[in-house]
Amino acid sequence: MSDLINFLKTRRSVKPRDMNSIAPTESELETILTIGARVPDHGKLAPWRFIIFQGDARNRAGDIIANIFAKRNPDAPSEDIARARTSLTEAPLVIAVVSSPKAHPKVPPWEQQLSAGASALNIVTAATALGYGANWLTGWFAYDRDVLAALGLKADEQLAGFVHIGKSEKANEDRPRPTLADIVTKF
């Protein structure tokens, strides 16, 4: 079996809490983003974009998330607000993949959203191939319009997810995977 096939068959997500402070270098980040932009894109529309959260930007984003959470949940315990504040701080690098559909007579928004999802997966795969742990996550705040606007998304944009990236020294266990007989049918 080729090394690439084995890599794809064994790739696993790493929990952000299991990542340390080592982030990709600028050169590695450029490689990751280049691969993230190299996905199926009917119409060559580039219907996605990336927002980088690194260093203090993760804390500033966490403050936005925590403040909106507290506003929406005035009786929330302080621990829940603190947890919201650290939503993007466990990994040293977080890349938000923004689905940014363009009006086009032949390419429906759904296809463009799928392209954004493919971009997020390519980012995860590229980071993993470079030796980093990666995890594609959302959370309530990925769907909250006030949070999204405060993070710079336009009204017609959605968040495909946040890709958390960092080194992990912890052995990563696989999770149960579906049996092909349960998910495959022939027509």
User: Could you read off the pLDDT of 116-172 as tens digits, one per residue?
Assistant: 999 999 999 999 999 999 999 999 999 999 999 999 999 999 999 999 999 997 777
Averaged pLDDT, 11-33: 96
The answer to whether residue 63 scores a pLDDT higher than 80 is yes
Task: Give me the architecture of the 3-183 domain, per CATH.
Answer: 3-Layer(aba) Sandwich (3.40)
pLDDT at 1: 64
Q: Is the pLDDT of residue 71 over 90?
A: yes
Q: What is the rounded average pLDDT of the residues 30-59?
A: 97
Which own/partner pairs from 151-157 qualify as long-range (CB within 8 Å, at least 24 positions apart)?
Answer: 151/51, 151/61, 151/64, 151/96, 152/51, 153/98, 154/100, 156/100, 156/101, 157/98, 157/99, 157/100, 157/101
Report pLDDT digits (tens) over 72-98.
999 999 999 999 999 999 999 999 999
Q: Write down the pLDDT at residue 181.
A: 94
45-61: average pLDDT: 98
